[in-house]
């Protein structure tokens, strides 16, 4: 990694949302000192499109079946093939979402565990989505450890849960909500997370940070979230950037 700058460790830049403006979105990110992006693909098609593009060092790719999508038939064989591609740095996003789906909890758990096992098989870290399901998420991660660990993305849980996840070896990533005036817990969590286990993200097109809340999100907005975390941790921007880059490299670009 040559440049120092901001990281968007979770962006859906390969979704249909950006199909017509991909180059401009990436250009705006670069103009705003975003030096590393991890594009999360939730479908086989998105991932195939991502892999069809020319390789860029500042854009990594992850693929996995999102808990809200596993009701429909999933092509598990193709997923495994894709995760073996050297350009795929992680399996995700995977996890549990009881906010949108309460009626298929067992199915969600099964798909989550199956994808943790897949990550271990292909020796890659995981990107974890957990919404209104922290207790079950922690239980699964305790019983089914990912060898390369990974990220709990857009973290929205309590300080206590964060401590458990840190003890399990995971990295905590913050998105737009940490910039919202009324959000208290994400700010408390950001303040206490050790610098070697923290990352930032947009989760675009959703979760737009202040002052753009209400607009469509994109990677060029990640500095607003990152600067808020810097402020909460009382850190110089460059020190924070260096720490996040080191965390990112350790997770995705070191063959341990
Ligand atoms: Ni996401």
Kindly give the distance from the C-alpha atom of residue 236 to the centroid of ligand 1, in angstroms, as a whole number. 28
Whole-structure pTM value? 0.96
Number of neighbouring beta carbons within 10 Å of residue 245: 19
1 located within any domain: no
117 located within any domain: yes
Q: Residue 129 corresponds to which tokens in the numbers above?
A: 């989505």
Query: What CATH number corresponds to the domain at position 49?
Result: 3.20.20.140
Q: Structural domain of residue 217, as residue ranges?
A: 6-252
Place of tokens 């979770």: 10
- The predicted structure's pLDDT at residue 3: 86
217 located within any domain: yes
198 located within any domain: yes
Of the candidates 20, 19, 119, 13, which has an alpha carbon nearest to the alpha carbon of residue 65?
119
- The predicted structure's pLDDT at residue 74: 87
> Into how many domains does the chain fold?
1
75 located within any domain: yes
Kindly give the distance from the C-alpha atom of residue 12 to the centroid of ligand 1, in angstroms, as a whole number. 6
Kindly give the distance from the C-alpha atom of residue 184 to the centroid of ligand 1, in angstroms, as a whole number. 22
- The predicted structure's pLDDT at residue 256: 52
Cβ neighbours of residue 142 closer than 8 Å, sequence gap 6 or more: 168
pLDDT < 50 regions, the chain: none
Kindly give the distance from the C-alpha atom of residue 77 to the centroid of ligand 1, in angstroms, as a whole number. 22
Q: Residue 19 corresponds to which tokens in the numbers above?
A: 């199909």
- The predicted structure's pLDDT at residue 2: 57
- The predicted structure's pLDDT at residue 175: 97
- The predicted structure's pLDDT at residue 55: 93
């Amino acid at each position: 990694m040559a440049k120092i700058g901001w990281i968007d460790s979770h962006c859906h830049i390969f979704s249909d949302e950006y199909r017509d403006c991909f180059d401009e979105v990436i250009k705006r990110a670069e103009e705003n000192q975003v030096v590393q992006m991890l594009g999360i693909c939730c479908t086989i098609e998105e991932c195939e499109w991502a892999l069809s593009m020319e390789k860029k060092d500042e854009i990594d790719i992850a693929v996995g079946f999102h808990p809200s999508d596993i009701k429909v038939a999933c092509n598990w064989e193709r997923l495994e093939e894709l995760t073996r591609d050297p350009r795929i740095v992680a399996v995700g996003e995977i996890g549990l979402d009881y906010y949108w789906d309460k009626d298929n909890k067992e199915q969600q758990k099964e798909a989550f565990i199956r994808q943790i096992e897949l990550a271990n098989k292909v020796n890659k870290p995981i990107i974890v989505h957990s919404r209104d399901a922290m207790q079950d998420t922690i239980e699964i991660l305790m019983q089914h450890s990912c060898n390369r660990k990974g990220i709990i993305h857009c973290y929205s849980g309590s300080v206590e849960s964060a401590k458990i996840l840190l003890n399990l070896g995971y990295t905590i990533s913050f998105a737009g909500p940490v910039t919202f005036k009324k959000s208290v817990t994400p700010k408390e969590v950001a303040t206490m997370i050790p610098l070697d286990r923290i990352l930032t993200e947009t989760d675009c097109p959703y979760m737009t940070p202040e002052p753009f809340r209400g607009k469509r999100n994109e990677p060029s907005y990640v500095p607003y979230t990152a600067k808020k975390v810097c402020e909460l941790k009382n850190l110089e921007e460059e020190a924070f950037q260096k720490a996040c880059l080191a965390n990112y490299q350790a997770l995705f670009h070191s063959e341990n």
